[in-house]
Amino acid sequence: MADDLIRLTAREAVARLRRGEVSPLELIDAAEARIGAVDGAVNALPTLCLERARGHARALMAGRRREAEGAAGWLAGLPVAIKDLMDVAGVRTTYGSPIFRDHVPERSHPLVERIERLGGIVIGKSNTPEFGAGGNTFNEVFGRTRNPWNTALTCGGSTGGGAVALATGMAWLAHGSDHGGSLRGPATLCSVVGMRPSPGRVTRGTSNNLWSPLSVQGPMARTVADLALFLDTMAGQCGHDPMTFDAPGESFSAAVARAQGPLRVAFTANYGGRVPVDRETREICAREVRKFEAAGCVVEEAFPDIGPAEEVFLALRSQHFVVDRELQLQTHRDAIKPDIIWNTEQGLQGSPSRIAWADRERAALFRRFAAFFGDWDVLVTPGAPSPAWDVMLRARDTIDGKKLDNYIAGGLLTSAITLTSCPAVSVPCGFDRFGRPVGLQIVAPARQEARALQAAALFERVAGLDRMVPIDPREGVVPDEE
C-alpha cells in the first residue's frame, strides 16, 4: 500500500485525504518508508522531522488546525518538503552553510506557517547549495545530491533536493526558491515541473532583500495540476513582505482545469544564437514544442531582444549578494565558498553608475517583453542549456563549445526571464541520447501565472511525461559527449 500511496499525484492524495480514504499518518509512513528505501542513493532529504509531522497529523485528525479548510490550496494533511534555506520551527535549518550547521530556529518562516495553516505537513528539509548559490546541489554540511535518472550526474540547483525528492517519490510536493533558475533548472534536469512566480505572488518573509524582485519562492511538483495546487497554497498577501498582493479571484487549480487552446506560442532555442545551448537540446526542444499544435496552438519561431541580459543580471545579482553576504564575509569569510565570495565582491566593486545602467537596461528589457506579449500568448525556450553533467563538477565547464567564465554563466535562458519579472514554468519534454531529461521553459506576461500554467498543462497533456515519475534511482556513468 505504501508504494501505491507514493505514486499518487498530490491532487489524488489530497482528494483521498478529504474523503477520509487515507490519513495523514498513513502518508507520512509511506513517505518514511520510501525515504528509507531510496534516499541513500541520492541524498535529497538530509534532515527529517517525522515526529513533528506526526504531531501535526494527529492535530488535523482530531479536528484542530483546520481554520483554513476549504480555502484554495487546502492540502488536508499532505506531507511536503521544505528547502533547507527556509526556517521550520524546531527543525535543524542550515542554509547549506557550515556557519549554520547546528542552527535550530524557534519560529518558522511566514511561508512555512502559511503552508502549515493550509494543511501541509512538513516531513523534512531538502538539500541545497550553500545559501542557494549554484546550479549543482552540494554543500559542506550534507554533501552532494544526485540525479535519480543517473546518479553519476547532478540534479541541478539550487532546489535540487526538492526535485529529486519528487522524482523518486519521497514527497508529493516540494517548496523551493528561484533567483537565476533554481526552481526551473532542477525541474528540467530531473523531469518534474517547477515554477518561478512573478515577484510578490509568494511571500519571501524574512529576506533582507525585500525590495528586490530577483529572488522568489515557489512550488515544484510532478504534474502541472499539482504545481497549481501548491501555488494556490503559497500565493497571497503577507504582512511580512511589502511586495506581496492578494491571490487571484479564480484559483490556479481552477484555471488549469479549464486549460485549452488555441494559444499563440513563440519558440526560440537560443535567441538567434545569443545564448549557448547544447545542439541536441536545441533539436529536441524544437521538435517537441510542435506538440502544442496537437492542442490547436500556433507555433512559430520568434523572440524578443534580450540585450545585454547576462551583464545586467550579474550586476544586479552581485548587489543582491552584497545585501545578503557582505557582513558574513567580514566575520566568516573562511567558511564561505569561493563562488559566493566572488559574486559578493563583484557587487562591492561595482559603481553606482554601473547599477544605474543595469536598472535602465532591466526596464528596457521589461518593455520589450511586454510589447512582445502583445503578439504572443507565451514564449517557450529550452528549460536548461544542456542536460545534467558530472555531479562532481561545481558547474558546467562549457556549453555548445563555449567556455564558461563563472558558475552562473550557463544560466542565461532562465536568468534573462528573472530580469523581466515574468512567471515561468519548466515542464519535461523528452530525453537525450544518453537518457538524460530535457525540458521546456514556458514564459507568460508578468503576473500571468495562470496563463503559464495553462500552457504547461496543454503541453503536458499531449506529451504525457508526467506519468514517468516517480522512479527508483538509477546508477550510471558520466556520458562521453565527444
Q: Looking at the chain, how many residues does it have?
A: 482
Q: Is residue 263 part of a domain?
A: yes
Peptide bond connecting 308 to the previous residue in cis, omega within 30 degrees of 0: no
Contact between 412 and 309 (Cβ < 8 Å): yes
Instruction: Tell me the β-bridge partners of 81.
Output: 124, 174
Contact between 418 and 280 (Cβ < 8 Å): no
Q: Is residue 379 part of a domain?
A: yes
Q: Pull the grid cell for residue 183.
A: 526552481
Sign of CA dihedral 296, 297, 298, 301: negative
pLDDT tens per residue, the chain (482 residues)?
Answer: 778 999 999 999 999 999 999 999 999 999 999 999 999 999 999 999 999 999 999 999 999 999 999 999 999 999 999 999 999 999 999 999 999 999 999 999 999 999 999 999 999 999 999 999 999 999 999 999 999 999 999 999 999 999 999 999 999 999 999 999 999 999 999 999 999 999 999 999 999 999 999 999 999 999 999 999 999 999 999 999 999 999 999 999 999 999 998 999 999 999 999 999 999 999 999 999 999 999 999 999 999 999 999 999 999 999 999 999 999 999 999 999 999 999 999 999 999 999 999 999 999 999 999 999 999 999 999 999 999 999 999 999 999 999 999 999 999 999 999 999 999 999 999 999 999 999 999 999 999 999 999 999 999 999 999 999 999 999 999 999 86
Half-sphere exposure of 383 (CA within 13 A, CB side): 36
Which domain does 45 fall in, by range?
2-468
pLDDT of residue 261: 87
Angle at 250 between CA 247 and CA 251, to 5 degrees: 70
pLDDT of residue 394: 93
Q: Is residue 480 part of a domain?
A: no
**Which residue type, as a one-letter code, is found at position 78?**
L
Q: Is residue 482 part of a domain?
A: no
- Taking the C-alpha atoms of 315, 320, 323 and 328 in order, what is their torsion angle to the nearest 10 degrees? -90
Contact between 146 and 42 (Cβ < 8 Å): yes
**239 by DSSP, 3-state: which?**
coil
Strand spans (E) along 317-462? 378-382, 398-399, 402-403, 424-431, 437-443
**Which residue type, as a one-letter code, is found at position 71?**
A
State how far the Cα of 191 lies from the Cα of 464, in Å rounded to an integer: 12
pLDDT of residue 482: 67
Q: In terms of DSSP bridges, do strands 120-126 and 78-83 run parallel, antiparallel, or are they unpaired?
A: parallel
Q: Is residue 203 part of a domain?
A: yes
Contact between 441 and 418 (Cβ < 8 Å): no
Q: How many domains does the chain have?
A: 1
Angle at 59 between CA 73 and CA 44, to 5 degrees: 60
State how far the Cα of 19 lies from the Cα of 13, in Å rounded to an integer: 10
| Active site (catalytic) residues | 83, 158, 182
Q: Is residue 81 part of a domain?
A: yes
Q: Which CATH number is 36's domain given?
A: 3.90.1300.10
Q: Pull the grid cell for residue 436.
A: 538524460
Q: Is residue 446 part of a domain?
A: yes
Q: Is residue 419 part of a domain?
A: yes
